[in-house]
Structure 1
Amino acid sequence: MVKSRNLAAACAWLCAAAGALSIVLGSAPASAAAPKAEVIHWWTSGGESNAVKQVAQAFRNAGGVWVDSAIAGGDQSRAVTINRIIGGNPPTAAQFNTSRQFTDVIEQNMLNNVDAVAKAQDWDRILPEPLIDVIKHDGHYYAVPLNIHMQTWIWYSKAAFKKAGITREPASMPELFAALDKLKAAGLIPLAHGGQSWQETVLFSALLANIGGRDLYLKVIRDRDQATILSPAFRDVLLAFKRMKSYVDPGAPGRNWNDATALVISGRAGFQVMGDWAKGEFTNAGQLPGKHYGCIAGLKPDTPYLMQGDVFVFPRTDKPDAIKAQQLLAQVVSQPALQIAFSKLKGSIPVRLDAQSNELDLCAQKGVAIIKDRTRQVGVTEVYLTPDQNGAMQDILTAYWNMDTRVEKVQRSIARALKY
C-alpha cells in the first residue's frame, strides 16, 4: 500500500475534482455516447475470469461499455491502480478486497463515495457488520461490495478420501490430523499448499478460528491483546500450524493457490485450506460439491466465518462521462441477480443477505446459512489489521513455517508486531 505521505502529493489536482458520487447521481449531463468504464481487476484464473465476464456483460446489458484491464496478482493490480490515481490517469473503477487496503486512498479524498446507492438499498441493515466497518468511513460508503468470500474453507477430494480409506469428513482437529495421516500413508499429498506468505496466513487463520473459536480469534487479531498472544492457548494454535508443514509436499514453495487446488481436483492431494474462490476452479473443471469434492466451513458448530470479499472503488474525477459510467457500474454491481450470477462462478456468496440464494450450490448454501448467524460473522486479518501490521505478521508466520524456531519466540514476535 502506498503510504499517506505519497498519496498526499496527488491531492493538489484530485481535491479539485468533482464531488462524491452520491452528490452527482442523477445530475451528470446526458451523453450520446454509451458510458465507458475501464475496470482494473486481478480476476485472471479460470474460475475468476468466467465470473468477471458476468459483471462485464451485466454492465453492457445496462448500456455501458466495459474496458477490461486485468492484471494478474492482487498486489500488482492494487499498485497499478494507486499509481494511476496518483499519476492523474485513474481508471473508472478498480477492484479491491473488502479490507483496509484502500483506507489511505479514502483518507486522502481520492474516491467518490457511493452513499446514494447505499441509502437506496439500506446497506446499514442488509450488509454484515464486519464488512460495513471497512467500506464505511466517517458516515460515508466508499466501495460497492460484490460478494462475500470466506477465507478458511477446508476442501477435500472424494477420490483421495476413497483411496486413503477415509469414510467421513473430519469434525474436529484430531479427526483432521488423523485423516491427514491416512492420506500420507496412502502415498498422496495430504495438504495441497502454496508456499506464499498470504497462503500461510490463511492456513494460520483457519487453525486459529477452528481451535480457538471466535473469542480467541478476536482477542488476538482485532484486540491485539498482548496477554492472549502470549498465552498457552495461542501457543497451541501455533504448534498446530507448524505441524501442518509435515503434510505438505516438497513442491509447495512458490506454488500459486489455483495450482494447489488443481492437485485436489486431480485427486493427487487430499485437502486444501483456501478461500471459497477455490470453488470456482472446481466448477471450471466440471466438478460438483458432494460428488467430486467436499467443503467444510468449520470443524465446530460455532467456528467463526472469516469474511472478506471483493469491492469496486471509484476514483474521483470531474469528467461527466466517467461519472456517468461510475454511477451505472455501482448500480449494476449492487444488484442481487448479478451477485448471484457472479458467485455461482466465483465460488463466493452474495454480499446482500436479501439475495435469493436457492440457485447456489451445496457449499454456497452452507455459507449462506452460516452468515445469517451474526455471531459467526467475523472479518479476516486484513479487516482488523493495517496493511503494515498484517504484513509483519505474515512475515513472522512464514519464517516460522520455513525455519526451526521456538514457538515462544514466535509468540513474542507477533505480540511486538501487533502491539501498536
Structure 2
Amino acid sequence: MNATKLGSAIALALAACGAARAQAPAPASAPLKATVIHWWTSGGESQAVKQFADAYNKAGGQWVDNAIAGADQSRATTINRIVGGNAPTAAQFNTSKQFRDFVEQGLLNNVDDVAAAGKWDQIMPPSILAAIKINGHFYAAPVDIHMPAWFFYSKAAYKKAGIANEPQTWDEFLAQLAKLKAAGLVPLAFGGQVWQEKITFDAIFAMVGGSDLYLKVYRDRDQKAVMSPAFKQVLVDFKKLKAFVDAGSPGRNWNDATAMVVSGKAGVQIMGDWAKGEFSSAKQVAGKDFGCFPGFGPKAPYIVAGDAFVFPKTTDANAIKAQKLLATVVTSPAAQVAFNSRKGAIPIRGDVDESTLDICARQGLAIIKDKSRQLPNAEMLASPDTTGALQDVLTSYWNKNQSPEDAQKAFARALKDQ
C-alpha cells in the first residue's frame, strides 16, 4: 500500500472511529492474548517467528498468529483492521517512515516504559532509534537489523566456474558474473519485482557511488548530486546486471531466487540477510555450502534496515499489558538470538550470545560496531511516497530501453516532486 492510500485509510479510520476503538476487555484471569499481524511466511521466516510466539507464550501470553503473505498486503490488513475497529495487538512494519502517519494521527500506543527498562537508547544503533523514537516517544519495538545488500553465493557454482575468491571491487564482481555465465550457470539470481529492483539498485549505489553521494541524494535530495556524472555512472553500472539475469526473472519472488542459489543453479544473489533463513531451511551451512559478503572490500558501507512491531491505539488495560509484554519479550536477549539465528538478520542489541549465530551474522555484528560504516536504508531517509516514486523510476529504467540520462532526469523529478 502506497503512502497516499495509507493516508486516506488513516483519515477514514479517524472519521469512522475518532481514534482506534478500544478492544473489548478480556476477563482478568485470561492470558494476555496478542493478535500479531506480520508477513513472515516463507519457510525460514515461519521458523523464525515461531521463536517469538513460543517466548511470548512462556512469558504468560497467548500469541495469536496472523500471517499475511506480502508486505503491502499485510500493512493493508492492519489498516483495514484499524478502520473496522478491530485493531490487532501488534503489527509488523519495516523500521522506516512507514508508520509515521499512524503516529501523527494518534493511532499508536507508545512503549516508553519498556524502552526505558530495556535501555534501548544505549543498546540500539542510532539509525534504528531515529526510526522508532518520534517526538521523544518510542512507537515501535525493533526486532532485527537487516542489511539489504548482502551478496550470497553458491560454493558449488563458484567452484564450477573456477572462482576461488570473493570479489574486492565492482569490476571483479562483474568478471565473476561473466565466468558464471560462461560455465552455463545463471550468474545472478534475480527477482524482477519493484522492491527487489530498488534494493539491488541501492546496493550498487552504496558500493559503487559511495556513502557521501548516497546521503546527498536520499537524505539531502540534492539535485546537483542526482544530475552528477557519478550518479549517472551508478545507473549505468546497475543496468550492467541485466546481462546476467535469466529470462524467468520478471515477477519472481525473492525466496524463489534464493532457491536458485541453494540448488547451485545460480551463482549469486544480491539480497537482504533474511535470505539466510532459506539456506538454513535447506540445511545449508554458511561458509561451507554458501558464502556471503556485505559488499566489496573491508570498508564497504553497511546499510542498516530492519523490522519492527507497532502497537495500535487501545485503552483496554489487558491489551496494553499484552503490548508491553510483547515489546519486552521480542527485544529480550534470548528471544533476539533465537529469532535472528533463524531469520538471517542480526539482533538489535549487542549484548547477546553470538555462539549460535552463523559466520555471516557474526560478521554483521562486528561491522555494525563501526559507526563509520553504518548507512541508513533509503526508506529511513525518504517517505513512502518518495520511495514509491523512485521505485517506479527504477523499474521503468530496468525493464525498458531507456537511457541513463532520461532515468537520471526522472529520478531527479521524483525526488523534487514528493
TM-score by length of 1: 0.95
The equivalent of 1:22 in structure 2 is none
**Aligned counterpart for 1:237 among listed residues 216, 234, 239:** 234
What CA distance in whole angstroms lies between the structure 1 residues aligned with 2:10 and 2:345? 32
1:181 equivalent in alignment to 2:178: yes
Number of corresponding residues? 411
The equivalent of 1:365 in structure 2 is 362
* Map 1:19-418 → 2, pairs under 5 A: 31-418=28-415
Ranges in structure 1 where 5+ consecutive residues have no aligned partner: 19-27
Change (3 A) 1:5 1:192: closer
Change (3 A) 1:81 1:6: closer
CA contact (8 A) 1:111 1:314 kept: yes
1:4 equivalent in alignment to 2:43: no
What CA distance in whole angstroms lies between the structure 1 residues aligned with 2:216 and 2:241? 23
> Percent sequence identity over matched residues?
58
- Partner letter of residue 285 of structure 1? A
Shift of 1:183: 0.4
CA contact (8 A) 1:172 1:300 kept: yes
Q: Write out per-residue CA displacement over residues 178-230 of structure 1, whole angstroms, 9 at most, x where no aligned residue.
A: 00000000110000000001000111011011112211111111111111111
What CA distance in whole angstroms lies between the structure 1 residues aligned with 2:188 and 2:12? 46
What CA distance in whole angstroms lies between the structure 2 residues aligned with 1:10 and 1:53? 31
Shift of 1:16: 8.0
Ranges in structure 2 where 5+ consecutive residues have no aligned partner: none
What CA distance in whole angstroms lies between the structure 2 residues aligned with 1:29 and 1:292? 49
Shift of 1:15: 3.8
What CA distance in whole angstroms lies between the structure 1 residues aligned with 2:37 and 2:6? 21
Is the partner of 2:31 in helix, strand or coil? coil
Shift of 1:5: 4.6
CA contact (8 A) 2:20 2:313 kept: no
Shift of 1:305: 1.1
What CA distance in whole angstroms lies between the structure 2 residues aligned with 1:394 and 1:89? 32
Q: Which moved more, 1:320-329 or 1:161-170?
A: 320-329
TM-score by length of 2: 0.95
Is the partner of 1:134 in helix, strand or coil? helix
Is the partner of 2:210 in helix, strand or coil? helix
Q: Which moved more, 1:214-223 or 1:270-279?
A: 214-223
Is the partner of 1:358 in helix, strand or coil? helix
CA contact (8 A) 1:14 1:317 kept: no
What CA distance in whole angstroms lies between the structure 2 residues aligned with 1:155 and 1:361? 13
